[in-house]
Amino acid sequence: MNHKYSPAGNQTRAEMKNPEAQQDVSVSQGIRMMFYMMKPNETSFQTLEEVPDYVKKATPFFISLILLELVVSWIRKGKPPGRLDDALTSISAGVLSRLPSLFSRSIELTSYIYIWENYRLISLPWDSPWTWYLTFLGVDFGYYWFHRMAHEVNIMWAGHQTHHSSEAYNLSTALRQSVLQIYTSWVFYLPLAVFVPPSVFAVHLQFNLLYQFWIHTEVIDNLGPLELILNTPSHHRVHHGRNRYCIDKNYAGTLIIWDRIFGTFEAENKKVVYGLTHPINTFDAFKVQFHHLVYIWTTFWATPGFFNKFSVIFKGPGWGPGKPRLGLSEEIPEVTGKEVPYSSSASHLLRIYAVLQFALMLAFYEDTFADKAALSQFTLLLRVCFIILTLTSIGFLLDQRQDAAAVETSRCLVLLTLCRFGHLKPLIPSLSFVFEI
């Protein structure tokens, strides 16, 4: 079969090149999309190009909910829900995870469209509520199995562990996303491509992600009967725990029913201690993303035997020769509840400087995404390199590394050079003359 995605329920490649024709999202829709409460008749689109970038449009709602969590935490507990250094690292991971999209379409959509165009069996109507709800279930089911495999297959865990590396649990933790994860998750959604139009899939792929933002919080306790069906903050706190009873539990995206059906459900009952079983103790953006890949590489070469080497990659993170596929639960370090999370020893003044530089980087980051259609590939590449350098430098400053001052000095020189040659725009236009001297 060699179908083309065209307007009669399908869409050609040429028509997908115009991403600008997207409807706006109202405030009401913005709030409801964060909780998967949008209706089929307002989120059904004939073509992929019509589908809004809901994740991008959710930025003000991310910020609003983070501020609301901060206020509620101060009122209820008299303290913020997390630490500044941890929050900066989480947001840094989120920034890094989105940078590849400046250069190419998501592999999740690209692979899905390929299967749809060449191998689909039937074409469900894009405007049917039945298609909408079926896709909701299908995407959530696919996410459950991707998420479970991301914990049970070591090479997939190398990507997903980034999200679990925070020792805090708040809304900023939800933004701690992996650069690598998307390169394995796409496989689990491909069965839908033989009958669900890409435009419907693209909507639910985003909503499934957005729903998982608000459940990363400790300010919401138990939601009563909703706990039976939905993934909630309580269920997801268990998933992020490093207590033995929390390991490999509650993989749900939106519906907790999958965990109940497949035997991976665990209710919250003891104080949850968050993070990896072996904390990485760093704010270095690259170590947060790639440290487990380095561990796999080292273990692979240190492990004798072809089949053992194969197992290092494709069995669980806790596997070793002579052990079960997922390792031994008794080897997971016990927690006492008195663990002290890793925190920066940087001075208050240095932290303020780091926050200011981080805010400037975010402004350049948002400007780059807003103007990417008008920027050359060379300028895009230079901007991405500058963003990565900034995140690296901030991590070094927070970690108080000896080479932090040299890296930050180099970063400032790069900033001045990029502004001087027009690859970055000064945030205050009236200061442009400074770079013309």
- pTM score, two decimals? 0.91
d(CA 331, CA 257): 29
Contact of 252 with 144, CB cutoff 8 Å: yes
Nearest to 190 by CA among 128, 120, 124: 120
pLDDT, one tens digit per residue, over 402-423 is 999 999 999 999 999 999 999 9
Task: Average the pLDDT over 113-124 and give the result.
Answer: 97
Q: How confident is the model at residue 6 (pLDDT cuts 50, 70, 90)?
A: very low
DSSP H or E segment with residue 100: none
Nearest to 187 by CA among 158, 149, 160, 161: 149
Give me the chain's average pLDDT, please.
92
pLDDT, one tens digit per residue, over 186-231 is 999 999 999 999 999 999 999 999 999 999 999 999 999 999 999 9
d(CA 170, CA 236): 11
Cβ-based neighbour number of residue 65 at 10 Å:
19
pLDDT, one tens digit per residue, over 14-23 is 333 444 445 6
Contact of 283 with 344, CB cutoff 8 Å: yes
* Longest distance between any two alpha carbons in the chain, whole Å: 68
Handedness of CA 243, 247, 249, 253 (dihedral sign): positive
307 CB burial (10 A radius; 0-12, 13-18, 19+): exposed
**Strand, helix or coil at 45?**
coil
Q: Is the pLDDT of residue 1 over 60?
A: no
Contact of 175 with 94, CB cutoff 8 Å: yes
pLDDT, one tens digit per residue, over 269-308 is 999 999 999 999 999 999 999 999 999 999 999 999 999 9
pLDDT, one tens digit per residue, over 306-338 is 999 999 999 999 999 999 999 999 999 999 888
Q: Is the pLDDT of residue 347 over 80?
A: yes
Q: What are phi and psi of 228, to 5 degrees?
A: -75, -30
Between 428 and 385, the more confident residue is: 385
